[in-house]
């Protein structure tokens, strides 16, 4: 059964990690995202690129630098140093638990003091077939906000929720600065109002209303 679009939201991501206490301490220190990022224990094997990038969109370059700085100080590894590009200013880091995070802004110059405020939290999934996975999520109640054929899809989200986007796996790996090869568990679970299921690429969803 489909869930109507205004109820279909992503409320949190659950990262499955080897050491939940250490991961929780890292995320509190690095990004301060509160309940939007949850952790729980797993020993599920995983190697290489896990197929997703967690992206924090902020207002200006100094905020990118601030969040990257606290992440690295807390133990993250830099995959792509912060730099300007045609699209703005961004950096990519890898958390100690292996999750990949991109911090980005469309602005190239600061317009005020650095803050810690995150304007949008986007989960970018690298999938095998963008069109097929797009259709799967539409059938589960998500509404498409942007779509560029088989290259990129972004779903509508409420202001306080997490945005879901789809990329091809190789494109997502390039975004992360990693080789696309990887095996085993994604170690990522979504908590939302979309239902409980596993999508075509093996990403699990849990209904927070249950």
Give the pairing type, strands 188-192 and 182-184: unpaired
In angstroms, the CA 104 to CA 83 distance is 10
pLDDT in tens, the chain (210 residues): 333 345 588 999 999 999 999 999 999 999 999 999 999 999 999 999 999 999 999 999 999 999 999 999 999 999 999 999 999 999 999 999 999 999 999 999 999 998 999 999 999 999 999 999 999 999 999 999 999 989 999 999 988 899 999 999 999 999 999 999 999 999 999 999 999 999 999 999 999 886
In angstroms, the CA 13 to CA 51 distance is 14
């Amino acid at each position: 059964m489909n869930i109507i679009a205004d109820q279909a939201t992503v409320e949190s991501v659950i990262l499955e990690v080897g050491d939940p206490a250490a991961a929780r301490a890292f995320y509190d220190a690095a990004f301060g995202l509160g309940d939007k990022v949850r952790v729980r224990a797993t020993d599920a094997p995983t190697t290489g690129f896990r197929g997703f990038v967690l992206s924090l969109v902020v207002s200006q370059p100094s905020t990118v630098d601030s969040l990257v700085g606290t992440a690295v100080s807390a133990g993250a590894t830099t995959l792509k140093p912060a730099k300007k590009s045609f699209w703005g200013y961004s950096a990519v880091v890898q958390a100690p638990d292996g999750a990949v995070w991109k911090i980005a802004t469309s602005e190239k110059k600061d317009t005020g003091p650095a803050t810690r405020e995150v304007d949008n939290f986007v989960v970018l999934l690298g999938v095998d077939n963008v069109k097929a996975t797009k259709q799967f999520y539409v059938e589960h109640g998500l509404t498409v906000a942007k779509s560029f054929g088989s290259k990129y899809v972004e779903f509508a989200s409420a202001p306080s929720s997490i945005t879901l986007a789809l990329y091809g796996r190789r494109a997502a790996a390039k975004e992360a600065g990693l080789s696309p090869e990887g095996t085993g568990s994604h170690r990522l679970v979504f908590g939302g109002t979309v239902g409980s299921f596993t999508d075509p690429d093996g990403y699990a969803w849990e209904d927070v209303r249950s």
